[in-house]
Amino acid sequence: MTTKGKQAGGKERGRLLPAFLRSKKGTTAVEFGILAVPFVLIIYFVLDVSMMYLADSLLDRSLHKVARQIKTGQAQTAGMTQTTFKSYVCSNMLSMFNCNDNVYINVQVVTDISNVSFLNPVDSSGNFDTNMNFNTGNAGDYVLAQGFLKWTSPMAILANAAGRLADGSVILSSASLFRNEPF
């Protein structure tokens, strides 16, 4: 009796391995487990890049909207300062971007329209230079308004893929070049 039990158990084990390999039960769960992590990472990358483009688009729209006040002379007659200009830019953006601490404004008069030089706020060490100008000019002057947003990506891998500062943040920028109207 014990011999037959051992033989029966041995035959069952010999039959279980091929049956196990032929079985399709649980295949979907295993395949999902293999694909779930890359799928979730791709979705996270897409959301991260989308948030960065949203922030850049909001900065661009807001800077152009507020720069119109310089173009029409409203900023000059009201005595607008760099802080006031920045607060107007921030009021047109979503509050989720910590605008007051991370947005910097540079406004300068362009003397030669054929040779416009845009401010590069990043020094050779990869640090952000916060020394910005604010000169709105007079009627008929060409003016370059630039806005910079220090963006810290929640996903450090994506920040490594793009050009970044020494502290790991990325600079998003917007510029508006215009000629002041006669005011």
Is a pLDDT exceeding 90 seen at residue 15?
Answer: no
Q: Which of 14-18, 165-169, 174-178 has the lowest mean pLDDT?
A: 14-18
DSSP alpha helices (H): ranges in the chain?
Answer: 2-22, 27-71, 74-78, 82-91, 99-102, 156-161
Is a pLDDT exceeding 60 seen at residue 159?
Answer: no
Residue corresponding to tokens 């900023």: 75
Write down the pLDDT at residue 18: 76
The model's confidence at residue 10, banded by pLDDT at 50, 70 and 90, is low
Token pair in block for residue 14:
């010999």
Delimit the domains of the chain by residue range.
Answer: 2-179
Write down the pLDDT at residue 98: 81
3-class secondary structure, 95: helix
Task: Give the separation between CA 169 and CA 147, rounded to whole angstroms.
Answer: 16
Give pTM, 2 decimals: 0.77
Q: What value does the mean pLDDT take over residues 72-80?
A: 95
More confident residue, 2 or 118: 118
Count of helix runs (H) and strand runs (E) in the chain:
6, 3
Q: Work out whether strand 103-110 and strand 170-179 pair parallel, antiparallel, or are unpaired.
A: unpaired
Task: Give the separation between CA 17 and CA 15, rounded to whole angstroms.
Answer: 6
Task: Give the separation between CA 140 and CA 70, rounded to whole angstroms.
Answer: 11
Task: Give the separation between CA 10 and CA 32, rounded to whole angstroms.
Answer: 34
- pLDDT tens readout for residues 17-72: 676 667 677 777 788 888 999 999 899 888 888 888 999 999 999 999 999 999 99
3-class secondary structure, 62: helix
- pLDDT tens readout for residues 88-132: 999 988 777 788 889 999 999 999 988 898 999 988 888 899 999
Task: Give the separation between CA 145 and CA 81, rounded to whole angstroms.
Answer: 13
